[in-house]
Structure 1
Amino acid sequence: MNTSAHPFTLGVFFAVFATLCWGSNFIVPYVTGNYSIFDFLAVKFMIVGVIGVVWMIVDRTNVRELTLPMQTVALTLGAIGYLGYSVCIACGVKISGPVLTPAFIAVVPVMLALLGNAQNKILAWRKLALPLSMLVFGLLLINIFANDTPLASQGAAVFGVFFSVCAVAFWLAFSVLNQKGLSKIPAHSTSAWTGLMMVGSALGMLLMMPLGWAFNLFEMPSQGASFANAGGLYVWAFLIAILSSVLGAWAWNKSSRCLPMVLSGQLIALESLFATLFGLLFEQRLPTQYEVLGMTAVLAGAVLAIRMLFASHEMGRDKLSAS
């Protein structure tokens, strides 16, 4: 085996596995049974919170090294990036099916790269016209024909877009603030930071539960919480909690040590692809021609934009090094 290629191959494997794990977030509306997505998310984030508490106890030395303001930031980021993002994804998929919301999420790595370009002016905006046009075309194609999909109804696409845009906003805010937070803490405190975010997502759900109760968003009081009634819900919630909040983060951190940012940025788009495939599998149908064309345009535009932005960034670094 070529040892020099081994880290690269391993990095790609872990990146694909991470996006596969994250894609499980999008199947929530299909595995709730007689319960609501809010019942499911409540159970899921209580599980995530318990794992986070155990995580913090094991890593309590590093937790103590974080100041109270930084601990508060980590808890808040958990509520934003874990809970808020998951709620918007579940609502988006529930309303508009398995294609629209994943298509919007594919735009997230591009938006992050564009934010970096806006700050550092790595690449002229006119050079990004083609990939950005592909993204817009793909999203419009999916949106215009959203009402032709089996799950869609008149006007539902508007709400699907709303929750999808909110999911993008939550994840962008989380990504930017999390990056700033991590830059202010020691590298060995990263694990403690992750545990705090997991606990923060559970605390956020506890704060939201009275509101959900007031609006009758929970079915568990009427359906029952025994394992005989809700066993499937508990099993799926545990599985998705482990996949999305533990294994996904672990695998992505492993891949980040082996892959250049330009490639890892492109591979994030696989999350949208896996999410769509999972949804279509649960719906037991093939994608429509418009969904195929739209999703292909979105993914191709995302990959092209990320490649162009990071290639220009690397060229700029090389010029600086040479000078």
Structure 2
Amino acid sequence: MHAFFKHPRAIGVGFAVLATFCWGLNFIVPYVPGRYSVFDFLAIRFMVVGALGIAWGFSQRAAIRGLAWPLRRLGLALGAIGYFGYALCTACAIELSGPVLMPAFVAAVPVLLALLGNTPTKMLAWRTLLFPLSLLAGGLLLITLRGNNSSVADPHTFAVGVVFSLVAVALWLSFSVLNQNALGKIPARSTGGWTALMMAGSALCMLVLMPLGYALRLFKLPCLGASYDNAGSLYAWAIVIALFSSVFGAWAWNMACRYLPLVLSGQLIALESMFATLLCLAFEKRLPRVHETLAITAVLTGTTLAIRLLWATNEAGGQR
């Protein structure tokens, strides 16, 4: 057993599991505020993320000064899109449509990214992807239709949750593509400063939108009280999730990528969806329903097969 954990692949898988578990904590946000609202939680969380980003940015100020102003603005904007916007839409989607739909949509993100990469090169014929994409689409369709029929909430509420899920996926895809393109223009030594800019940008976006949230009476902190005696649990959860999702998760994933080939790390990203579903169901204190089990299994299987085909083909093409 000791020798097993010395193997580079085993170390990489361990880091990948840790990273995806950390990211899965993002999905329990609707379950932890208690008497407070999701928006109270997100406000505190991104205050923590912003403080961490400013501190990190100060330590990386030389690297940040080396970035052109357009890149600095893009870094801040990506934080608003991929950190704050994605977290907000994810929390709203889970609160409105339950614990399985949003994680199932997230499982499709690695496939969509790989498909975007395959579109211009067409290294893999689309008919080769018919089976895994059918599994993926069938799982998403099943959880959407059955979730709508079996939901205790109003069908219109569930439909709004589906919209939030789709917007969250769109935001994450946009973030991934723009970030990948920007990283090609940024020196390796500036990566830390780049991440700090995104963390600060997420907090800035939250601060800009706070007056609107206050006007819409989305916050309960003003009336329930912001003292530690009243909101101590809210603060604790906000700090834990901010640290794990924004710091430890990114660190563990970067470590995993040092030990694992792209085709394997891409498949392991799908674990985020599994952890998210299990964590949400644990907070609801129930087992998955039959249709939920079938749907998430189909989605994860289709995702794994599609990524294997796309990225294995990409690696083979790069070796020619």
- TM-score w.r.t. length of structure 2: 0.97
Give 3-state SS (helix, strand or coil) of 1:190's partner: helix
Which aligned pairs between 1:1-323 and structure 2 lie closer than 5 A?
6-147=7-148, 149=150, 152-318=153-319, 320=320
Residue 84 (structure 1) shift: 0.4
Cα separation, 2, equivalents of 1:189 and 1:272: 30
Mark the CA change 1:285 to 1:111 in structure 2 (over 3 Å): closer, same or farther.
same
Cα separation, 2, equivalents of 1:149 and 1:187: 49
Residue 155 (structure 1) shift: 2.5
Q: Does the CA contact (< 8 Å) of 1:96 and 1:151 recur in 2? A: no
Cα separation, 2, equivalents of 1:119 and 1:103: 27
Mark the CA change 1:210 to 1:313 in structure 2 (over 3 Å): closer, same or farther.
same
Tell me the alpha carbon deviations over residues 95-116 of structure 1, each in whole angstroms, 9 at most, x when there is no partner: 1111000000000000000000
Residue 154 (structure 1) shift: 2.6
Cα separation, 1, equivalents of 2:214 and 2:5: 56
List alignment gaps of at least 5 residues for structure 2: none
Give 3-state SS (helix, strand or coil) of 2:155's partner: coil
Mark the CA change 1:231 to 1:131 in structure 2 (over 3 Å): closer, same or farther.
same
RMSD of aligned Cα (Å)? 1.4
Tell me the alpha carbon deviations over residues 27-83 of structure 1, each in whole angstroms, 9 at most, x when there is no partner: 000001111101100000000000001101112221221122111111110000000
Give 3-state SS (helix, strand or coil) of 1:257's partner: helix
Counterpart amino acid of residue 236 in structure 1: W
Cα separation, 2, equivalents of 1:279 and 1:152: 17
Cα separation, 2, equivalents of 1:4 and 1:274: 22
Give 3-state SS (helix, strand or coil) of 1:137's partner: helix
Further displaced range: 81-90 or 4-13: 4-13
Cα separation, 1, equivalents of 2:151 and 2:25: 21
Percent identity over the alignment is 58
Tell me how many residue pairs correspond in the alignment: 319
Further displaced range: 151-160 or 27-36: 151-160
Further displaced range: 58-67 or 224-233: 58-67
Cα separation, 1, equivalents of 2:230 and 2:85: 27
Residue 313 (structure 1) shift: 1.0
- TM-score w.r.t. length of structure 1: 0.96
Q: Does the CA contact (< 8 Å) of 1:97 and 1:151 recur in 2? A: no
Cα separation, 2, equivalents of 1:256 and 1:177: 20
List alignment gaps of at least 5 residues for structure 1: none
Tell me the alpha carbon deviations over residues 164-197 of structure 1, each in whole angstroms, 9 at most, x when there is no partner: 0001000000000000111101011101100110
Cα separation, 1, equivalents of 2:92 and 2:4: 45
Cα separation, 1, equivalents of 2:60 and 2:312: 38
Q: Does the CA contact (< 8 Å) of 1:102 and 1:276 recur in 2? A: yes
Give 3-state SS (helix, strand or coil) of 1:119's partner: helix
Q: Does the CA contact (< 8 Å) of 1:107 and 1:302 recur in 2? A: yes
Residue 152 (structure 1) shift: 3.7
Q: Does the CA contact (< 8 Å) of 2:149 and 2:155 recur in 1? A: no
Cα separation, 2, equivalents of 1:13 and 1:236: 24
Cα separation, 1, equivalents of 2:282 and 2:207: 32
